[in-house]
Amino acid sequence: MGTVPVSVFIVVAFVSVVMRRLSFVNGAAIPSTVDGPFKPVTVPLDKSFRGHAVDLPDNDPRVQRIVTGWEPEQIFVSLSSTHDSVWISWITGEFQIGENIKEMDPKTVGSSVVKYGRWRFGMTKKAMGHSLVYSQLYPFKGLQNYTSGISHHVRLTGLKPNTFYYYQCGDPSIPAMSDVHYFRTMPASGPRSYPGRIAIIGDLGLTYNTTSTIDHLMSNHPNLVLLIGNASYANLYLTNGTGADCYSCAFSDTPIHETYQPRWDYWGRFMQPLVSKVPLMMIEGNHEIEEQIEKKTFAAYSARFAFPSEESGSSSTFYYSFNAGGIHFVMLGGYTDYNKSGDQYQWLKKDFAKVDRKVTPWLVATWHPPWYSTYTAHYREAE
């Protein structure tokens, strides 16, 4: 298939873009950001969308559990480090919340399986992965604890570039398989090869503004979505489900910053129509910290998403890299050590050393709060 110029539309994000070299597609130069501003080529944003930052209630049909038994839900596609591999993620079983809960055993569902192929009725390939459960526990009487359903992550390999694949996920031995979904792989890396459109969003939440933002995004038919931190905003709630726009303003006397983890499940269900077919790449933000017992943090973030950390040489879910055509993306962590002596800095030096600007002329770095900033809302937050 032919390639088209990259067009990137930004909904909400903290983004740092480094474009040090002019690229060409179909003989035409891709301009740098300093040559702009340019007339948008995406569907215009309806300004009437704004002003509706009211959370979706838990009885909204878009956040309800509609599967039964061990059928998969909250199905996500994410990328590996190169075009020939993707991750498929999903959740089975129901979460538990209360003072007395018991973690499910991932072995309850015998296997994590994805059947896939290039034709809807020819899904002859099969891949298997791993599963896990996480909990959000509080050491204070009266607070409700949470344990998740079973998260499954399966990596598909040997894929062709810029190609549609159909897939089903679940456990065929029960049987409990999903409906048929599809995704499109990224173009092969090269100076004339790019995804058609990349959506960059952040501070998404689960409000009526979220619904209009995602509707707007989907109307522009992106090939890839970057979520630069702050997904569900579950940490704006007490464990009993009471929420507020400003946690510290409304709940200043709580002994620990509580969360209402079911908001993550609501968010995953709402997002499935998009992210079951368009790859989503996530990096942590401040609303993913979610401190719990023994000062554990980022439990939901690390369990619910698949990251190409190992494939990109990273030892952490907080930072990783991947290619999308002629673009090398570096997803950096603002909530882990970024000093020169730290693992992230050392990994980043090695990652940059592997970048061939003749193959990936565009280098894009993203993170939620910049490492060095005087912005008071995030100033020295990770420290």
d(CA 82, CA 325): 9
In the structure, what pLDDT confidence band is assigned to residue 29 with cuts at 50, 70 and 90?
A: low
108 in helix, strand or coil? Answer: helix
Q: What is the pLDDT of residue 383?
A: 64
pLDDT band for position 45 (cuts 50, 70, 90): confident
Q: Which one of 52, 216, 287, 378 is the catalytic residue?
A: 378
- Looking only at the bridges linking them, the beta strands covering 73-79 and 145-147 are unpaired
Q: Is a pLDDT exceeding 80 seen at residue 12?
A: no
- As a whole number, the mean pLDDT across the chain is 89
Residues 44, 49, 55, 56: what is their CA dihedral angle, to the nearest 10 degrees? -80
> What confidence score (pLDDT) does residue 309 get?
98
Q: What is the mean pLDDT of residues 31-55?
A: 73
Q: For residues 321 and 306, what is the distance between their CA atoms, to the nearest angstrom?
A: 13
- Classified as helix, coil or strand, 217 is helix
Average pLDDT over residues 218-227: 96
CATH of domain 7-366: 3.60.21
What tokens were used for 246? 């400003």
- pLDDT at residue 15, rounded to an integer: 34
Instruction: Report whether pLDDT(25) > 50.
Output: no
- What are the tens digits of pLDDT across the range 126-162? 999 999 999 999 999 999 999 999 999 999 999 999 9
Single-letter amino acid code for the residue at 298: F
CA 114 to chain centre: 19
The reported pTM is 0.89
C-alpha–C-alpha distance, residues 306 and 317, integer Å: 8
Q: Which residue has the tokens 């790449």?
A: 281
Domain boundaries, the chain: 7-366
**pLDDT of 14:** 32
Q: What is the mean pLDDT of residues 363-373?
A: 90
- 368 belongs to the catalytic site: no
**Choice among 14-28, 236-250, 335-349 with the minimum mean pLDDT:** 14-28
* DSSP string across 305-317: S---TTTTT-S-T
